[in-house]
Structure 1
Amino acid sequence: MGWNSWNWFKENVTDKDVRQAADLLVSSGMRDAGYVYVNIDDGWQGQRDKDGVLHSNEKFPDMKALADYVHGKGLKLGIYSSPGPKTCARFEGSMGHEEQDAQLYASWGVDYLKYDLCSFHNGVMRKAYPGDGAEGMVAQYKMMREAFEKMHQALLKTKRPIIYSLCQYGFDSVWQWGPEVGANLWRTTGDITPTFDRLSLIGREQAGLARYSGPGHWNDPDMLEVGNGKLTLDENRTHMGMWAMLAAPLLAGNNLSQLTPEIKAILTNADIIAIDQDRLGKQADRIYAEGPIEIWARPLADGSRVLAIFNFGEQRSYLRGISLHLQQSGADNGWHARDVWDGKDLGSISDTTHFTVPRHGSILLRLSK
């Protein structure tokens, strides 16, 4: 859990922006709700000197001082690089300097590395093995895994605990081999945008991936867009609720200086965060889908279940004649339900209990015996 600079600032992020984000995570109560990583995305890199040491650019005059400032707030600092020669925004990547860069990050006090495929995919891999034939693709993906493993080994040599986040958009079914290259989380999709069509597509694409996720190694459907764009209240809730059901990393990507009470309430909802951060670490499975209505379920460590009803359609839906599939979720008729978003106890429910789900909205129910 934390905050990442990219969704709002892109490559224009500055030292001042990061310090302000750290301040606002504390003053807003988000840090105390669990958002502890302050992650600088692309755009901080300067040039390498004659010895190959990478220096930050003029927007970041002293990275060690910045890390100390963030740590002083009870937070952790994240940084960004690429296994290729350049990053997505055409700044210096880590290719050929993996150990040098890892040691540099550790000397600054970095706690998290997002490692973005970018130029390695479009340049190095394709140049080495051009074409889209099966043999070439296998060779390309082998190169990709080796590049991520190389940075993993470099991070281990620093002796500093640094979270390792792979950003390679789900290529080569990364969820099957991410742990083998030391990843703590890996992107399963392309980039998110603050539109309901995009975030709902990404959420639904996670169906079937639950068996690959668990404590210490997580499927990552990308950063949160809660509070960005023109998302409605229901759409923001659906976004946050889906990510919580997926046991996804919660990396806010909004402008914290414009945090409204409504968005703060979504991001800091204690019941939602408890679901996302449940120590069992079991990602939800989709147990029903028909038209725009989907039902997802996940078990929690205390034996309870969470049932999420999503309406991805354009009209309000009254669930008449649709079973809640309680047994498939691991619950049963007569279990007690709590409406997570409304914070209301609903008493016992059955498969035939009716709910009205707003357009692009959702209902999350915590079920217990």
Structure 2
Amino acid sequence: MRGITALGVLFLVAMVGALENGLARTPPMGWLAWQRYRCNTDCVNDPDNCISEQLFMKTADLMVSEGYLALGYDVVSMDDCWPARERDADGKLQPDAERFPSGLKKLGDYIHSKGLKFGIYEDYGTHTCAGYPGILEHMELDAQTFAEWGVDYVKLDGCYSDPHTMDQGYPEFGSYLNKTGRPIVYSCSWPDYLRASGIKINWTAIIEHCNLWRNYNDISDSWGSVTSIVNYYGDNQDEIAPNAGPGHWNDPDMLLIGNFGLSYEQSRAQMALWAVLASPLLMSVDLQSITPPYKEILQNKDIIAVNQDPLGIQGRRVSKKGNIEIWTRPVTPTSGDEYSYAVVVFNQGNGGGPSNVTLSLKSLGMTHSAGYLVSDLYEHEDIGKFTPDQHFYVKVNPSGVKMLRFNLS
């Protein structure tokens, strides 16, 4: 296990040269269309689920009325399949006229009127992944267009492009975004495409030019997809965890909670692990049809507080024994060089009953002699005070988690 002192040093090193546009000081929170709605453009036969201004306006309304905005979910972002197939006569991107008849400036104004931020998707390539116009040869024009539309958040994919040019292209587009004078959070897929192509990743450049970035495969609506991402982050944490911090975040991809592929226990596990990973919390779900148990997971204030902790230190997997993993994240409050902790005990097993797990506080890096006040973040229970020499016992369901907070006493 890497000691907290070493982790703190790595965190400070990562901050050097970080992108300082003043944005994303904690991981972005919001809603992103892709996982739930994909590229459904059939507004004739499926008007409630197609990529259209109606979908984004309805979602903006629900973000406010259902309490998501009040908890920090403040971005409503489009993904692929919003543009027309061709640029206009002046070379500008334009939305599909039938699905976005009011135009994107008016859509952005509507989202802003609700107190929310407006997000958009594009691609560093000749085309987006679904075949719509990409930004290559139009980077400066597209950045200016996004600013004119009132865009606050840009996700830039990397289909139909040469990964060997990304070390130049992604920073170039970021510079055009900055030159618009509009504060725009910049989400990059840059390192994921380099990884997939076997190209060495320059993390210093990634941190300098992007507010958040994808590291690994797209998430899909399945438990296998979630665990593959979690395993990648755990197996490669020495390389990627130190790169996270205020203004620049690793992005394991969207929250699936409330869709079709995860059980209730698995949904709780994703939320807890994404919080400990200091991940952006970008829901991709139908907010109108989500059922109360899953909405409660997404709106868990105590877990959101862990995710949004101002220290911005990404958590780590500190123990893996069989199916049982323990992940910890240093959080506030602090005292000198001592931290409080969020702890996730994760059971990757998929059969039988709950597993009994014994936690040794000292082995998890908790050395505060006055002890820790322990609370269960899903059960909303105060469990008691424990000192470093004491052990702590929990039961963890298959494909589930126990999420605890250890605050300095």
- TM-score, structure 1 normalization: 0.90
In the aligned structure 2, how far is the partner of 1:7 from the partner of 1:351?
Answer: 43
In the aligned structure 1, how far is the partner of 2:330 from the partner of 2:366?
Answer: 7
Match for 1:38 among 53, 76, 80? 76
Counterpart of 2:36 in structure 1: which amino acid? W
Aligned residues: 348
Which residues of 2 match residues 111-260 of structure 1 at below 5 A?
Answer: 111-120=152-161, 125=162, 140-141=163-164, 143-168=165-190, 169=192, 171=195, 172-173=200-201, 175-180=203-208, 182-207=209-234, 208=237, 209-260=240-291
Change (3 A) 1:323 1:271: closer
- Asked if the contact 1:83–1:93 (Cα under 8 Å) also holds between the matched residues in 2, the reply is yes
In the aligned structure 1, how far is the partner of 2:261 from the partner of 2:213?
Answer: 27
Question: Are 1:97 and 2:138 an aligned pair?
Answer: yes
- Write out per-residue CA displacement over residues 218-254 of structure 1, whole angstroms, 9 at most, x where no aligned residue: 0000011111123111100000000000010000001
Q: Displacement, 1:301?
A: 2.5
- Write out per-residue CA displacement over residues 303-354 of structure 1, whole angstroms, 9 at most, x where no aligned residue: 221111000111334335x444544333568422100110001112465322
Question: Are 1:67 and 2:108 an aligned pair?
Answer: yes
- Asked if the contact 2:342–2:403 (Cα under 8 Å) also holds between the matched residues in 1, the reply is yes
Percent identity over the alignment is 38
In the aligned structure 2, how far is the partner of 1:327 from the partner of 1:281?
Answer: 23
- Write out per-residue CA displacement over residues 7-41 of structure 1, whole angstroms, 9 at most, x where no aligned residue: 11112211100000100111110011111000000
Which residue is 1:6 aligned to? 34
Counterpart of 1:88 in structure 2: which amino acid? C
Task: Give the 3-state SS of the residue equivalent to 1:194 in structure 2.
Answer: coil
Counterpart of 2:132 in structure 1: which amino acid? F
Change (3 A) 1:174 1:337: farther
Counterpart of 2:205 in structure 1: which amino acid? W
Task: Give the 3-state SS of the residue equivalent to 1:107 in structure 2.
Answer: helix
- Asked if the contact 2:81–2:132 (Cα under 8 Å) also holds between the matched residues in 1, the reply is yes
Which residue is 1:307 aligned to? 343
Which residue is 1:26 aligned to? 64
Counterpart of 1:33 in structure 2: which amino acid? L
- Asked if the contact 1:21–1:38 (Cα under 8 Å) also holds between the matched residues in 2, the reply is yes
- Asked if the contact 1:299–1:330 (Cα under 8 Å) also holds between the matched residues in 2, the reply is no
Task: Give the 3-state SS of the residue equivalent to 1:156 in structure 2.
Answer: helix
In the aligned structure 1, how far is the partner of 2:36 from the partner of 2:145?
Answer: 26
- Asked if the contact 1:305–1:331 (Cα under 8 Å) also holds between the matched residues in 2, the reply is no
Question: Are 1:346 and 2:360 an aligned pair?
Answer: no
Change (3 A) 1:159 1:63: same
In the aligned structure 2, how far is the partner of 1:269 from the partner of 1:282?
Answer: 20
Task: Give the 3-state SS of the residue equivalent to 1:300 in structure 2.
Answer: strand
Q: Which has the higher contact order (CA 8 A, sep 6+)?
A: 2
Match for 1:282 among 313, 318, 333? 313
Counterpart of 2:214 in structure 1: which amino acid? R
Counterpart of 2:229 in structure 1: which amino acid? I
- Asked if the contact 1:174–1:186 (Cα under 8 Å) also holds between the matched residues in 2, the reply is no
In the aligned structure 2, how far is the partner of 1:243 from the partner of 1:210?
Answer: 13
In terms of mean alpha carbon deviation, does 164-173 or 104-113 score higher? 164-173
Change (3 A) 1:29 1:45: same
Which structure 1 segments of 5+ residues have no match? 126-139
Counterpart of 2:62 in structure 1: which amino acid? L
Q: Displacement, 1:144?
A: 1.1
